[in-house]
Amino acid sequence: MGNLNTVRGFLLDMDGVLYRGMEVRPGARELIEHLNEHAIPYLCLTNNATRTAEEYGQKLARLGIPIPGERVLGTAETTAKWLAKQAPGATVFVIGTEGLKHELGARGLRLVETSGADFVVVGLDPALTYHKLEVATHAIFRGARFVGTNPDATFPGANGLSPGCGAILAALETATGTRPVIIGKPEPIIFREALRRLGLPPEAVAMVGDRLDTDILGGQRMGLTTVLVLGGVTAPEELETSPIRPDYVFEHLLDLLTAWREGKA
Q: Which residues are the active-site residues?
A: 13, 15
The pair phi, psi for residue 258, each rounded to 5°, is: -60, -45
Type of residue at 49: A
Could you tell me if 140 and 111 are in contact, meaning their C-beta atoms sit under 8 angstroms apart?
no
Q: Is 128 exposed, middle or buried (CB count within 10 Å of its CB: 0-12, 13-18, 19+)? A: middle
Could you tell me if 203 and 223 are in contact, meaning their C-beta atoms sit under 8 angstroms apart?
yes
Could you tell me if 94 and 121 are in contact, meaning their C-beta atoms sit under 8 angstroms apart?
yes
Least Cα distance to 100 among 87, 119, 86 occurs for 119
Least Cα distance to 137 among 93, 105, 99 occurs for 93
For residue 152, what are the β-bridge partners? none
- Cα torsion through 192, 196, 197, 198, rounded to 10: 100
Where do the DSSP E strands lie in 117-175? 119-122, 145-148, 154-157, 160-163
Type of residue at 258: T
Type of residue at 81: K
* Angle at which helices 165-176 and 130-141 cross, to 10°: 50
Cα–Cα distance between 12 and 210 in angstroms, integer? 10
